[in-house]
Structure 1
């Protein structure tokens, strides 16, 4: 066995021993030893391999698999620009705390700086975005290599999952590989390639985090951002406090949820009474919430079990790893929010029911997915539209670390591959086009059951609702913000053999969503981008006109 083959055999085996069950590969020559070792492991049923021709797609596919399984996932690339195409996924993994393991094949050091083909400086190419960088030395046929390789792999996996640091995130292992890059008869290896047990070379155990006590007193709300988990719901219910939960928080369920929190904060006096906020996860959707968290008179307690914490308003009074709620609020504080929510909901739903709009589509999709389904939602308008819906599936996945639209289709494919049942995706047209390569899946690759609903407003719809969408900027808005594209989505789907359907009414969309999800299909729903700004104003006015001040809501 030659050095590169021995290296790849040991690395893949140690990844599996360390808990890896899914792996993603983009093809290349220099990465051939790792590709062959992964294919052999897939053949033997030790892991499941996914091959993609586009490295950016491969990276986001790995993120979807991580979000679906909770386990670390390696992505393997060849050398050169292939590695750099992983950068968007690495950044999303870094900001979302996802254990992505980059195995970047490389030329040996003596070829760097020589103009050799596909050779560039890959050392620390992702900068501070990775939790660990290590260049595994050029494989050589000598004693001690196996222990070095296995020790470094088990260390990298433990860092990626945050076993000791409570700060999970991506890691990069740069792998200089020497020819021959395919198996050859090179005689016996000088030491056994097997590990010393059935588990990882080094077992790393986490230290226990101690929760902090919090008692009733101040008028408290719980804000659950992306990735908050059920801990936010449990805290809100234990304290008898209102819960403002974003769709991807996985906490938007139960009696404490205030579905119209975003509009109520901006249109009622209840928000002005808030004295304390308990923040879980990474809240990013709502300007009213951002303003609340930036108010200097409000006590902000951030619950961050791992890594860095969210504090965009720079007003956090304390950061804790967990909460133990001591007693429940016995006042009518939660009841007033619940009553306001119940009064506002019909007014909001009336606005949403007026034809095929982004929020109406999101509400229909959320209802169709149901409590047991999984929904992947794109950034920009779709996730904000879903935030207005009365029903949001508890298993909602979104790339909210950096809130980019890139890689959404591939993330959805990865999440669906990790999901036992049907998975849905709600994306805008630009997010869909940005990752259309995510639909390119080879005939030998595992295929998920995934239904993608594309809300097509022919451009950058979210800008219509922001400052740029004001009529004073109309001269240049359409070209530099609206960015119409006119792409025929039916033809695009046909090019990748993906079944396609156009839903032109709410009833047609509901009917399309009732079909069994088998394989990948796409439903397009077209909306009028010019109506977005008016719709947002109508929603705000519908709630404001109810005059839901604290006294009236309590009656």
Structure 2
């Protein structure tokens, strides 16, 4: 008998972890706890399981979310009973909203201790409600049940995980440590074929959905006949076939509005891209008769308002998740196929087009906006928030990636980012658009990509996830944190509440006078400040060379930032 099978708890836990590994789950985010001991030991002893330890379950869950967002494969979370799993909830919601795989293994008390006043015991049954794609309450291990049942349950769990989070609640009785209690002969006989192989008990094979020929022909015929079309790139997975998307945009000739989370907004290689479309929509209101929306959500509020006001006759939303992304009720057809797969299927049927007149017109005006931005943002030697976004977009290394906090940073990179790079992975937690877990998510994104990640984050989001700076110290892949410290909630300066002086500062802007030097020191992270564009460039490039995580703090003024936005908007309207 091996130590892993010292008792029923550890035998079942070995089955769970081994089957997860055989199904391709190799990354385990573990938070220490007693009731989860059998699961933790099984993960720690598996030679192919890669484990990371987290003191805070909320950070663990967001880290796992960032990892899966990057590579498309789920990480497994392991936690003890009680409120530990409840700390996963914000990340579970984000994963559900964005259809990101996530496997939750929560330990629990056995039935006789539930609803009994036993310590560290809450109702964990269906804890995450409708936000998980599948839930199962696994009985406490014993010798009466066929161990094949455990393997089959894990396989069913993973079969549902490709579209979002899943939850396996695992009951354990004591002893929880791997104490040697003699198990009966032949206790694993029913799974002998599994024990003697490296294959999963049951493999679920899922093919990629393709459109049938009749539907595809009808869609492409209408696209070919459209006179004034638009391609909208929403959030796209980093591991998709980019070449198919590029060829589709090139062949179609329509203007392309690329959201920052598509990975294409900062690229110089996307055909017919209109990088500053958000600013253009403040000066003119083009009407598109047909929209092809590839992928998920998009950030631009002006674009959403345009589509609501000038509803297109045809609006194809092409995404394989089946999720409704239609806040202004414009979608006329949903094609449940991956965007890159649709592009590959469509290309042989598409007519070769010259760039549309709308493309040439909008591209010319977008270039003018770029010149206005450069002129306006460099009128002072000091760093401001829009200039910070622009400089960061120019400095990103070709083999790097970008993670953006979901409040002002993601919006400002969409507005001000320069389009001079190759494609690179860009992500933000925009499913539920919370500010929690941003640092942990960025660290997970780096782990999943196995690349250096630059994180652009505001001061309040960093304060909210300050303890996750510890993850950066231990992360194999560096995360360079650039914090825009405007001493409060800068986003509120763009909302109507800014006019109400009696409540604005204290209850919405929530000012503080903190900086992050001592936080960086506490977590043993190199700390730098930058006050000018030259200082930012120098510090950032030095940090890249060290291959270490670091924190760079840039102090800006909330009120001045809002005024600068108004100046830019006024100049664009006057000059276009």
TM-score by length of 1: 0.92
My pick for the range that moved more, 511-520 or 223-232, is 223-232
Q: Does the 8 A contact of 2:107 with 2:170 survive in 1?
A: yes
Alpha-carbon separation, structure 2, partners of 1:329 and 1:484 = 54
Deviation track 1:139-177 (CA, whole Å, cap 9, x = no partner) reads 112351x2111111111112101xxxxxx1000111111
Alpha-carbon separation, structure 2, partners of 1:262 and 1:79 = 47
Alpha-carbon separation, structure 1, partners of 2:472 and 2:174 = 28
Deviation track 1:47-76 (CA, whole Å, cap 9, x = no partner) reads 210000001000001011112222111111
Deviation track 1:506-542 (CA, whole Å, cap 9, x = no partner) reads 1100101111142221000011011122122122222
Q: Does the 8 A contact of 1:221 with 1:236 survive in 2?
A: no
2:229 aligned partner: 220
Match of 1:280 among 294, 297, 301: 294
2:249 aligned partner: 236
My pick for the range that moved more, 229-238 or 7-16, is 229-238
1:180 aligned partner: 175
**Alignment of structure 1 residues 497-508 onto 2, 5 Å:** 497-508=524-535
Match of 2:282 among 266, 288, 300: 266
My pick for the range that moved more, 298-307 or 26-35, is 298-307
Q: Does the 8 A contact of 1:500 with 1:522 survive in 2?
A: yes
Aligned-residue offset at 1:448: 2.8
Change in 2 beyond 3 A, CA 1:109/1:307: farther
Q: Does the 8 A contact of 2:443 with 2:472 survive in 1?
A: no
Aligned-residue offset at 1:256: 1.8
1:551 aligned partner: none
Aligned-residue offset at 1:232: 5.0
**Alignment of structure 1 residues 123-202 onto 2, 5 Å:** 123-144=125-146, 146-161=147-162, 168-188=163-183, 190-192=187-189, 195=194, 197-202=197-202
Q: Does the 8 A contact of 2:440 with 2:465 survive in 1?
A: yes
TM-score by length of 2: 0.89
**Alignment of structure 1 residues 51-70 onto 2, 5 Å:** 51-70=53-72
Aligned-residue offset at 1:490: 0.3
Deviation track 1:384-440 (CA, whole Å, cap 9, x = no partner) reads 111121136621121111111111100111122233332211111111111111112
**1:511 and 2:538 aligned:** yes
Deviation track 1:162-199 (CA, whole Å, cap 9, x = no partner) reads xxxxxx10001111111111112222351246626422
Deviation track 1:230-284 (CA, whole Å, cap 9, x = no partner) reads 465443222111111111112333122111000111212xx32322221122334
Q: Which structure 2 segments of 5+ residues have no match?
A: 1-5
**Alignment of structure 1 residues 392-541 onto 2, 5 Å:** 394-441=424-471, 446-469=475-498, 472-515=499-542, 516-541=545-570
Q: Higher helix share goes to which structure?
A: 2
CA RMSD of aligned residues (A): 1.9
Alpha-carbon separation, structure 2, partners of 1:33 and 1:220 = 57
Alpha-carbon separation, structure 2, partners of 1:191 and 1:67 = 37
Where do 4+ consecutive residues of structure 1 move more than 3 Å? 228-235, 328-331
Q: Does the 8 A contact of 1:224 with 1:232 survive in 2?
A: no
2:44 aligned partner: 39
1:303 aligned partner: 318
Match of 1:390 among 418, 426, 445: 418
Alpha-carbon separation, structure 2, partners of 1:338 and 1:442 = 40
Alpha-carbon separation, structure 2, partners of 1:373 and 1:15 = 30
Q: Secondary structure at the match of 1:86?
A: helix
Change in 2 beyond 3 A, CA 1:527/1:308: same
My pick for the range that moved more, 314-323 or 501-510, is 314-323
Change in 2 beyond 3 A, CA 1:487/1:249: same
Change in 2 beyond 3 A, CA 1:517/1:259: farther
**1:293 and 2:302 aligned:** no
The number of residue pairs the alignment matches comes to 532
Q: Secondary structure at the match of 1:514?
A: helix
1:378 aligned partner: 405
1:164 aligned partner: none
Alpha-carbon separation, structure 1, partners of 2:555 and 2:374 = 20
Match of 2:108 among 106, 109, 118: 106
Q: Does the 8 A contact of 1:422 with 1:517 survive in 2?
A: no
Alpha-carbon separation, structure 2, partners of 1:438 and 1:400 = 19
Aligned-residue offset at 1:126: 0.6
Change in 2 beyond 3 A, CA 1:328/1:475: farther
